[in-house]
Amino acid sequence: MTLPGTGMRTFKSPLEKTQATVGRLCAAVCVLFVTGTARTLADPRCVACHPGEVAAYAQSSMAHSLSESAAVPAGSFQHDFSGTKFSILSDASGITQQYSRSGHSGSYPVAYVIGSGKHAYGFLVRISGHLFQSPLSYYSRAGIWDVAPGYEKTSDPDFTRPVTLECLLCHSGNPRILPDTLNTYAPAPFLEESIGCDRCHGAVESHLKNPVRATIVNPSRLAGAARDSVCEQCHLNGEIRIPNPGKTFADFRPGQRIEETYTIYVSHDSGNGQVKVVSHSEQLALSACARNSEGKLWCGTCHNPHDANPQTAAFFRLRCLTCHGASLEASHAAPGRDCVACHMPRLPARDGGHTAFTDHRIRRRPSEPAPPGPAGLVAWREPDPALRDRNLALALVAWAYLNQSQAEMTRGYQMLTSVEGQFPDDVDVLTSLGSVQLHIHQPTEALRRFQKVLVLRPNCASCQVNAASALIQLGNDSEAIRHLTRALELDPLFQPAVVTLSSLYRRQGQLAQAAEVSLRYQRAMSNSDHSQ
């Protein structure tokens, strides 16, 4: 259902809304962001010594991950599931997207375009310093406008989905999110708009002072896990990612193993023959080629963003022949055969709207089933032993919320209670424990942990909402209102606080106050500001 007069969706609890915001919705935001469009193609300091590499990289999709505009046509369409009419204006001045539904309407100028258009374009709008995902995508291959992935069965698709740091890290150059916020960014949100040299090669300052091999990261010279981590940071989304204590996703640096910063958890792919958009590393690991190579086969075996040669069927065939040239049957040995078309066909992406991606499982016969992935939720690579139970417990609870699995929630909760003593000031552990306790109606225990989080992070709007949710279960509405009011002081566009406070006022019969909260939110959300 929607909040009257606002078009905002309500959840069973405010906490569920918060969890959905930072979990499932972020995953949906990321779906289209694996190919790129941008203005800044590479660090200009690299050009003087590496002009060929920079010029070749400029032609790659990674170098085109984000821009302020794109050559997309105007258009319109009806989203039948929600009854929403969308229209798109596109000209030399920019792109504006509009919607109307059940008497509600909105118009938003696009601040940033995500994607090279190789498969699709996604769009971001900027409102009062916040970045939100547009519910629209332009599917370049199909030449159509439609809703973005994740909005297909949404009853009220609006421009309210927060774009978090995790979502942007692989699709922009150095996003600048403000501390303790979900989706509020600096006036210049990105130090670079597109993915730059440092994403794969690390910081260049030491190399500029002493330009030798030892002062720059070359992924091909790294040990297996560190080498693969360079690619996996953007090409292995997994099901759940859990940061280590005190770390954010932005702390990963090329040359490290990803597990030094966060753990990626994967699960069995039940996509009925389809692939996921961000699952290239998972697929490749299932291939006989990778399994039989003893770790030698990696992304760089076939892909080199600095290679100026066209990425044609013949280009990739040469890669295949380096290993299979001596063993091919006569029928396969003829020049011009397209290895990829047969053994790596394009398949529909089950989480990618109107898109299809190359199947990296490299099956001998495409009709044969690929080897199954892992059953349940498992670490792609295990973190430090001291963090294994902590990270897995957090992943299980997050997984349980996304998949409504009581068994996984129970398992994760039991693990969390056993490790809490080792991580007494760990905000993620405390928040996850409190979330489960709120879910199983233990508000006193939940509040105790949420209050401890507020001591550690007093300026966190979602933390204020969590405390308010526990207080509501305890029947302490007045104190809950205080926390919710504080949350909106910290972030006037934090929708869970708006929904919860409005609902609380209405339940108390304070309809004027409820209407005022909703009206302030509507006014704030209409204050679109096109990023400069």
Contact indicator for 508, 472 with CB cutoff of 8 Å: no
Q: What Å distances lie between residue 387 and 247, 420, 432, CA to CA?
A: 13, 12, 16
Residues 6+ apart with CB under 8 A from 185: 129, 130, 131, 175, 176, 177, 178
Distance CA 110, CA 96 (A): 6
Distance CA 365, CA 279 (A): 20
Count CB atoms within 10 A of the CB of residue 4.
12
Q: Read off the amino acid at residue 280.
A: H
Q: For position 138, what pLDDT does the model report?
A: 95
DSSP 161-193: EE--HHHHHTTSEEEEEPTT-SSBEEEEEEEES
Residues 6+ apart with CB under 8 A from 455: none
Distance CA 171, CA 169 (A): 6
Residue 280: half-sphere exposure toward Cβ, Cα within 13 Å: 20
Q: For position 497, what pLDDT does the model report?
A: 98
Extended beta strands in 204-306, E state: 240-243, 262-266
Distance CA 38, CA 207 (A): 25
Nearest-CA neighbor of 14 among 515, 524, 473, 406? 473
Distance CA 190, CA 167 (A): 13
Contact indicator for 215, 202 with CB cutoff of 8 Å: no
Low-confidence ranges of the chain (pLDDT < 70): 1-42, 269-274, 277-278, 331, 333, 351-355, 370-374, 528-532
Contact indicator for 444, 431 with CB cutoff of 8 Å: no
Strand partners, 303: none
Residue 322: burial class (beta carbons within 10 Å; 0-12, 13-18, 19+) = exposed
DSSP classification of residue 156? S
Q: Are strands 122-127 and 112-114 parallel, antiparallel or unpaired?
A: antiparallel
Distance CA 68, CA 113 (A): 6
Task: Encode pLDDT of 365-390 as tens digits.
Answer: 877 776 666 678 999 999 999 999 99
- In sign, the C-alpha dihedral spanning 350, 356, 362, 367 is positive
Q: Read off the amino acid at residue 361.
A: R
- Tokens coding 332: 């396969």
Distance CA 337, CA 429 (A): 54
Q: For position 311, what pLDDT does the model report?
A: 82
Q: For position 324, what pLDDT does the model report?
A: 87
Share of the chain above pLDDT 70, in %: 87
Task: Encode pLDDT of 303-324 as tens digits.
Answer: 998 987 878 888 898 889 888 8
Q: Hey, what domains does the chain have and what are their CATH numbers? A: 7-195 (no CATH), 405-525 (1.25.40.10)
Count CB atoms within 10 A of the CB of residue 10.
15
Residues 6+ apart with CB under 8 A from 205: none
Q: For position 250, what pLDDT does the model report?
A: 94
